[in-house]
Amino acid sequence: MLYDTAPPPLKRPRDNPSLVTVVRAELARNKRGFVPWYHLIAPLVITIPLFLGALGSSEAKAGQTFEVFRNVTLEFWGVLVPMTAGLAAALTVRADQDAWRLLLSYGVPRHRYFVGKVAALGVFGFAASTVLLVMLSLGALLCGKFPEGMGVVVPAVYLPWLVGLSMTALAVLVAVMWGTGPSIGVGVAGLLCGALVSDKDFWYAVPFAWPMRVVLPLAGIGPNGVPLPENSAVRDMSAIPLAVVLAVVLTGLLLVAGSAHMSRKEI
């Protein structure tokens, strides 16, 4: 009696790259062009002229050059984080329109494209924050305030990036759904709210103001860079964990919403 000994047909594996692979692909595709250079150069463009300006300030005569440099730099950084999120999301999503026509036809779970985009832009933001930290460290070194003057710098540099991931997720979602202009509008709203709302009592209701809000109590400054009075409510450190929790929740909700939209998106 003859038996069929032929092996069963091999099942074709479903395209299923890990999220790490998708993020690496996003970083590789965006390693050239305006976006990576912007994240590298923006901290330099901010810090170099501000340091030169601090050298000529009246506070410099009192030996407070680094304090002035640090405070003004962190003020600019707090409003720049959401602006950067909107601009980077708008440009990278627009550049991906043609590629997505092909990629969305594959069997890859579509939500990974959205989450991978947000994560990749988060990596660029982290790199920009690190460049800023290096520049502030150099400023402290030149002023003879390193390392004792760096106490608040590390959290004041990285916390806006962490909280600002919610703005990155929002900007990517807006860019995917409505295009370049509205996504840049998210960044502009973040810039304005950071300057106008971050020190108000209702700051927690305006996500655009969160990155700037975590800077103010750490640096002890207002949105205009002026030192806060010792009894100012803006110095309350409890705003920082609240902003972090709100940002984590909002980021999670936006990732879910963006993933659902990508899963239904027509090619």
Q: How far is CA 205 from CA 174, 200, 247, 249, in A?
A: 19, 10, 11, 13
- The CA dihedral of 39, 42, 47, 49, to the nearest 10 degrees, is 160
Please state the rounded mean pLDDT for residues 158-177. 94
H helix or E strand, kind and range, residue 185: helix 180-196
Which is more confidently placed, 11 or 49?
Answer: 49
Ordered by start, the domain boundaries in the chain are 19-264
Cis amide linkage into residue 147, ω under 30° from 0 = yes
- pLDDT mean over 92-113: 78
pLDDT band at 7 (very low <50, low <70, confident <90, very high): low
Please indicate whether residue 195 or residue 98 has the higher confidence score (pLDDT): 195
Burial class (CB in 10 A: 0-12, 13-18, 19+), 99: exposed
Rounded-to-integer distance, Cα 38 and Cα 180, Å? 17
Which residue's structure tokens are 């106490």? 151
**Dist. CA 105–CA 122, nearest whole Å:** 26
Give tens-digit pLDDT for 75-86: 889 889 999 999
State residue 1's pLDDT score: 46
pLDDT of residue 225: 77
What percentage of the chain reaches a pLDDT higher than 70?
92
Tokens of 132: 């800023």
Which position has the token pair 């601009």?
87
User: Is 211's pLDDT higher than 80?
Assistant: yes
Tell me: the pLDDT tens digits for 36-69?
A: 999 999 999 999 999 998 888 777 777 788 988 9
* pLDDT above 80: residue 19: yes
- Residue labelled with tokens 């790199």: 127
Report residue 147 as tokens: 């390392």
Give me the pLDDT at residue 250, please: 97
Task: Provide mean pLDDT across the span 214-230.
Answer: 87
**Those residues with Cβ within 8 angstroms of residue 107's Cβ, 6 or more apart along the chain or in another chain:** 14, 15, 16
Q: What is the mean pLDDT of the chain?
A: 87
